[in-house]
Amino acid sequence: MKVLITGVAGFIGNHLAYYLLTCGYTVVGIDNLNNYYSVQLKQDRLSRLTNTNFTLHISDISDTSFLLRIFSDEKPDIVIHLAAQAGVRYSLENPFAYTKSNIDGFLSVLEACRKYPVKHLLYASSSSVYGGNTNYPFTEDQPVDHPLSLYAATKKSNELMAHSYSHLYRIPTTGLRFFTVYGPWGRPDMALHIFATKIVNSEPITLFNHGQMIRDFTYVDDIIESISRLLQLPPTINDSYNTQTPVPSSSWAPYRILNIGNGNPVLLIDYVRALETSLGVTTCINYAEMQPGDVSFTSSDTSKLANLIGFRPDTPIENGIAQFVHWFKNYYQ
């Protein structure tokens, strides 16, 4: 079985490639190694993928002609699309980076899957699509029509684009709404990495919304386990789908949306305290107003995921943060 992963030098993509290679899959990776954050970190992640069943292509997914050549040459069975311009706050500074990568890039992937049919296309959506919803926990059948950032809007757009291709060309697609993923090899712009760096440098950290932020923190290994179980469970055509009472998370087409989250929301200050404990250092905390585009609370209902794959993410933050700190100390000396 050959799996193509876009964003293979990224946080989740690299963990997934590493795991699938150990499971005996052939993995084709695509990444443009852009400088949104440390290129060295991306290269160090890639250095872990020394398996002979791994092939790397340095390319931008928005380069449609090059992407089509890769699909033509490699003929993947399954595609996992994780490449994207990440970050909510960066979308306020550089919005066009999001349309290029998250919209144009995803369209290129869809076109490649149309011209070179695959058994299953899985792609990264985000818990940010829930936007202004305050009905907790978030379920896949809630409306997601009020995004609070351009990043969230592009992820919602991906879900709509995927549905159109599932309907028109019968491409089996699964959208994965990730909830605040953390762990070893994480991005430097993520909260855990920022907090750890400041704490070890004896600098104060800032908690927004006066510390009343609550997040459904999900350990990266739980994400990888979920994806690996979903790979060979593509959605199928549902001829009995009721269009009079439509359900947003599924369709008459081979299409589905799934939450992947821990399901145990944590107050951000408790997350910080767990980090202090693992580092053996306490820190000074500054409190500030909510940032534009941010949400105060996320919480996932993962019943659909558990019913489908027999697994539910459940790693406690104390365990996940301890694993992150172990990597952080070793990597940064």
40-62 b/e (C-beta count within 10 Å ≥ 16 → b): ebbeebbeebeeeebbbbebbbb
Helix axes 150-169, 105-115, angle to 10 degrees: 10
DSSP labels, 116-135 = S--SEEEEEEEGGGGTT--S
Q: Are 207 and 287 in contact (CB under 8 A)?
A: yes
Q: Which two tokens stand for residue 215?
A: 């997040």
Give the single-character DSSP code of 6.
E
Q: Which two tokens stand for residue 35?
A: 């400088």
User: Which residues are within 8 A (CB) of 251 and not within 5 positions of it... i.e. 6 or more apart?
Assistant: 163, 166, 167, 238, 241
Say if residue 137 is preceded by a cis peptide, omega within 30 of 0.
Answer: yes
The alpha-helical segments, DSSP class H, found in the chain are 11-22, 39-46, 64-74, 90-93, 95-98, 105-115, 150-169, 191-200, 220-230, 268-279, 303-309, 317-332
φ/ψ (deg, to 5) at 26:
-90, 130
Residues assigned a catalytic role: 151
Q: Which two tokens stand for residue 281?
A: 């250092």
φ/ψ (deg, to 5) at 216:
-95, 80
The side-by-side arrangement of strands in the sheet containing 255-260 is: 54-58, 26-31, 2-6, 78-81, 120-126, 173-178, 255-260
Q: Which two tokens stand for residue 278?
A: 């693992």
